Structures are given as C-alpha cells and as structure tokens.
A and B are shown apart, each in its own frame.
Chain A
C-alpha cells in the first residue's frame, strides 16, 4: 500500500512538472502545446539513451533531456510564433505524432516498439526497497526548484510582459516588448521542463517505449492545468494531484461495472477524462485556484507624505 501511494505521488509529481511547464505558456503567454507528450518523450529518450547506450551519469542525462526538450521546442515554435496561436496548436499536435513515429521506427536508435529497458535509477542497487521513497524525495526537490522558478517568472517584469502578450500581443508590441522573442523563449523553457519530466519518468520506471507517450498524456496535463487554475503555478500542482485522484478512482470504479471487457474499461476511463476536461472548461474556467494578478507597482509620488 505504501509503495502504491509512493508510486502515485511520484507519477503525480511528474505530471505536476508537465503542468507547470504548460501553465507557463498557456496561462502565461496564451500559447498551447498540444504536443506535450512529444516533448515528454524527447526528454525521456534523450536521458535513457545517454545513460544506457552512452554510459553517462544520470545527472548528465537529465541535463541532456532538458536541452533536447528546449531545442525541440525552439524548432517547433520558430515557424509559428509569427502566426496565430491556433496554428501553433496544429503544429505541436503533429510534432508529437512524428516523435512517436521516429521512436517506433528508428530501431537502431530507440529499439522501436520494444522500447528501452534497464534505464538506471539513482543509487537503485544501494537503496533497494526504499528506492521509491528516495526517488520521490529527489523529484520533490526538482519540483520545488521549478515551482519557485515559475513563481519568480510569474511575478517578474518578464511574467507581466508575457501576460500582456496573452491579453493583446499588438499592444505589447507597441509598448516595445519583443513579442516574438519572449514567446519563443517561454515556449522553449516550457518544452525543456517537459523534457526533464520525461527523463524523471524514464529513470523512475526504468523503461521507455513509444506507447507510453500517447496524446492522452497531453489531455491529462491540460485537464490538470485547467482544473487547478490557468495562470497559477500552485494551481498546476494541485491540478496534477487532482488528476491522479480522478485517474485512480476511475480505475477502481470501472472494476465494479459488470459485463465489460478490458477494452471497454479503458475506453470508459478515457471517456471520463475527456468529459471532465470539457466540463471544467465550460463550467469552471478559472479552476480551483484562480489566477491572481499582482497589482501593478505604484509610481513614486515624489516625496510627499
């Protein structure tokens, strides 16, 4: 039971990391990444390959995952930052599909649909059964660092500029903000976080395969951010754990429905998640922790008491 809870907490934390990344661009700059699963996969594969085939230490693998995710994000956003956000949405969706195609077919590199197994976990042999607890601790540290970073961005002039772009890119441009550069930076940073999340996932489960990075994960993360509160980093984390609660309760609930096959159970679960996302968007658009926009700093009034 304890191991089960640790497992749920770790996966929830990884989803939380993805949600923090998505919140930066969706809540921050009004862009969406429908290919989150693809960036997640890029990071997972980068670190898995570096530490298995490349025999590099795990932290190097994680850095590579961060870089690979960010680089992929930069490439995807370069062609579309000039355009409306819905074009970016279409491109990112396609990106995730292509990542899955490459992962399934470049067998020399990724071992195809068999996936890469035996990805090392940090101090796994020495820790033995307490590996899960230790890994959760490492993950929480990473999560805390990223969370603090996101909050700082949220409160910084940079974060305000991003929000200005979200509200009206033209006005931000007129006010002298480098809109295109800011958008590309935010997207690349968000993709880098997704890549890091992928690496953390791979080293936890010790196995990556194309089928683990289905578009459904992207829907999970959108549900997390929307339910938690778009534009609020704390909301993204709360949303990720709400999602885990929903997923796990759904898993137990569908067990009790008689006369359904395994395929139908899986379909019911996906159905539930999709309906939940529509309901949240329609009925609770600001989520459980709505965005709080800090007051603009007051100009100094020149020495008067």
Chain B
C-alpha cells in the first residue's frame, strides 16, 4: 500500500513537470493544426540551454527563463522556415518536416556537448520522511516551479489580450480573423510560447534527473500521451493528462517493471484513440 502511495506521489511530481511541455504542445496543435514532432529536439535544446545558464551562475528561475527564450526563438524560427510553409499542403508534410527539424536540433546539441549524461549541480538535500513515505525537498521545489509556470500560463490565456486571441483563433480561425484578430501574430505567439514551454519542460525534467541529447526523444511519447489523453488542443486537458500519465508511469513500474515505463504513453494513446478519440476534455478529433 505504501509502495502505491509513494508511486502516486512520485507520479504527481513527474506529472507536474510533464504538464509544462504538454501544454506547449497542445496549444501549438490547437492554433497551428499539425502535430509538431520537433518538441523532442526543442526539449533537449531547452534542457541544455538551461544547463549552460545554470553552469555560468544563473539561479533556477533565471536558467528556466533562458531555456524558455532559447527554445521559443528556435521553435519559432523552425516553424517559420520549415513547418508552416508546408501546412498548406496538409498536416502530414509539416509533421514529417518537424521530425527532421527535431533531429537537426538533437544533433546540434550532440555536436556541441557530446553524448555524455550531465546533471545540474544542485545542492543535495535530505529526504523528508512521513511514516514510510519519502519526499525529496528538491523535487517538491521543482514541482512548485512547474505549478507556478502553469498558473502564469492559464492566467495569461484567461486574462490577456493575446491569450484571448489565441483561444479565439484555436476555437474558430475564420471567425477570429473576421473579428480583427491577426492570424499571423497569433500563430507566431503560439510557436514562441508553445516551444518556450517545451524548452522549460525539458529543463524541469532535467533538474529532476539528468540530461543528454536524447532527453527530449525519451519524453516525447509521454508529452503526446498527456496531450492526447486530455484531448489534443485542450490546455486544461493537457494538465489532467500529464498528471494521469505521470501517475500511470510510476504505477507501471510496480506492475511491469521500469523498462516498460516508456510504453505507458503509447498505450494511453492507443486506448484513448480507440475508446474516446477526443480525449477527456477535448472537443474534436475528426
């Protein structure tokens, strides 16, 4: 029983970290209408940008800002030159090009940093014990940061002009354009913020473990799983999906062992698409 409770707590922590890139991915899907596979490369890039900033003396918050900015700018650039010109031909060519650009980023990081694992050099803290349950203060701190990021994102979506414009565009692009919302600006904002969140997500997950060029590729299916489970295009859905995937991944370790943890996202996607394609909180899937 304690094992299960511990797994659920760990799952809530990793779910909170996963929610950040999942919101980014799902928001981009809602506005730009293609699944952007370059999130794997962008998450890696964000993790390394944050790592580098942390290594030269930035605090965690400052490093996260660096990760956000670098990933956002690069993601926006790739969307402009490689993906969005192809969306006119359909979602698939853009999706295929995004796989290639993710690979480009991954290999640029590999050129610069090699294949070795790196860890953020954070001060070590002792676990807190509550009965048989262990809680690591650093993990709680990272989780708090992730929750704060989510709060800012949802506040921005709810109250700022550009946030409202993004939601309107995602809901009905023609009507939004008719009302004077400029679709180009909304698309650029979605690329920048979406990829920025993905980059921060890469760094948050790196803070929790370690990073290497395949960091992003490893979390890709979890991100997709969270977004599809919650309903592609729904930001609250991505958060719910991320927590569920996080918990399911931790519980799966108890049942089938850690090697198959990485398969949880895939099976979640397969089951959701078979049973309820629009996901838990999504609206359209056809």
Using CB atoms and an 8 Å cutoff, list the residues of chain A in contact with chain B: 26, 30, 32, 34, 78-80, 82-87, 89-91, 93-95, 97-98, 101, 104-105, 215-216, 219, 222, 226, 261, 263-264, 266-268, 270-271, 273-275, 277-278, 281-282, 285
Interface contact A222-B96, CB-CB below 8 Å: yes
Query: Nearest Cβ distance between residue B35 and chain A, in whole angstroms?
Result: 5
Given A90-B224, A97-B262, A274-B92 contact (CB < 8 Å): no
Q: Which residues of chain A have C-beta atoms less than 8 A from B114's C-beta?
A: 261, 263-264
A278's partner among B101, B221, B270 (CB-CB below 8 A) is: B101
Given A79-B273, A83-B285, A271-B111 contact (CB < 8 Å): yes
Interface contact A94-B266, CB-CB below 8 Å: yes
Cα separation A34 to B260 with both chains bound (whole Å): 20
Q: Give 15 pairs: A residue, B residue, CB < 8 Å, sorted on A.
A: A83-B273, A87-B273, A89-B95, A94-B266, A94-B269, A95-B266, A101-B259, A105-B260, A261-B114, A263-B114, A267-B107, A267-B108, A274-B107, A281-B97, A281-B100
Chain B 28-67 interface residues, beta-carbon cutoff 8 Å to A: 34-35, 37
Cα separation A93 to B104 with both chains bound (whole Å): 18
Closest residue of B by beta carbon distance from A26 = B92
Cα separation A86 to B228 with both chains bound (whole Å): 12
The B contact surface, by secondary structure, is: helix
Closest residue of A by beta carbon distance from B268 = A94
Cα separation A282 to B100 with both chains bound (whole Å): 12
Interface contact A90-B228, CB-CB below 8 Å: yes
Q: Which residues of chain B have C-beta atoms less than 8 A from A101's C-beta?
A: 259-260, 262-263
A93's partner among B37, B273, B285 (CB-CB below 8 A) is: B37
Sort A-B residue pairs by CB-CB distance and give the 3 closest, nearest first: A94-B266, A274-B103, A79-B274
Query: Nearest Cβ distance between residue B99 and chain A, in whole angstroms?
Result: 7
Cα separation A83 to B107 with both chains bound (whole Å): 33
Cα separation A80 to B259 with both chains bound (whole Å): 26
A282's partner among B35, B82, B115 (CB-CB below 8 A) is: B82
Interface contact B100-A277, CB-CB below 8 Å: yes
Q: Is B110 an interface residue (CB 8 A)?
A: yes
Interface contact A282-B91, CB-CB below 8 Å: no
Given A94-B221, A271-B104, A285-B277 contact (CB < 8 Å): no
Q: Which residues of chain A have C-beta atoms less than 8 A from B277's C-beta?
A: 82-83, 87
Q: How large is the interface on B (under 10, 10 to 19, 20 to 34, 35 or more residues)?
A: 35 or more
Q: Is B172 an interface residue (CB 8 A)?
A: no
Using CB atoms and an 8 Å cutoff, list the residues of chain B in contact with chain A: 34-35, 37, 82, 85-86, 89-93, 95-97, 99-101, 103-104, 106-108, 110-111, 114-115, 217, 220-221, 224, 228, 259-260, 262-263, 265-266, 269-270, 273-274, 277, 285-286
Closest residue of A by beta carbon distance from B259 = A105
Interface contact A84-B286, CB-CB below 8 Å: yes
Q: Which residues of chain B have C-beta atoms less than 8 A from A271's C-beta?
A: 103-104, 107-108, 111
Interface contact A86-B110, CB-CB below 8 Å: no
Which has the most chain A C-beta neighbours within 10 Å: B100, B265, B270, B274?
Answer: B100
Q: Which residues of chain B have C-beta atoms less than 8 A from A105's C-beta?
A: 259-260
Query: Nearest Cβ distance between residue A302 and chain B, in whole angstroms?
Result: 41
Closest residue of B by beta carbon distance from A266 = B110
A104's partner among B96, B259, B274 (CB-CB below 8 A) is: B259
Closest residue of A by beta carbon distance from B108 = A271
Query: Nearest Cβ distance between residue B48 and chain A, in whole angstroms?
Result: 14
Query: Nearest Cβ distance between residue A221 and chain B, in whole angstroms?
Result: 11
Interface contact A281-B96, CB-CB below 8 Å: yes
Interface contact B274-A274, CB-CB below 8 Å: no
Interface contact A274-B34, CB-CB below 8 Å: no
Closest residue of B by beta carbon distance from A84 = B286
Cα separation A96 to B34 with both chains bound (whole Å): 21
Q: Which residues of chain A have C-beta atoms less than 8 A from B99's C-beta?
A: 34, 219, 222
Q: Which residues of chain A have C-beta atoms less than 8 A from B90's C-beta?
A: 30, 85
Cα separation A268 to B75 with both chains bound (whole Å): 21
Cα separation A34 to B99 with both chains bound (whole Å): 9
Cα separation A86 to B91 with both chains bound (whole Å): 7
Q: Which residues of chain B have C-beta atoms less than 8 A from A32's C-beta?
A: 92, 95-96
Interface contact B111-A267, CB-CB below 8 Å: yes
Interface contact A86-B270, CB-CB below 8 Å: no
Interface contact B111-A282, CB-CB below 8 Å: no
Cα separation A222 to B98 with both chains bound (whole Å): 12
Q: Which residues of chain B have C-beta atoms less than 8 A from A274's C-beta?
A: 100-101, 103-104, 107
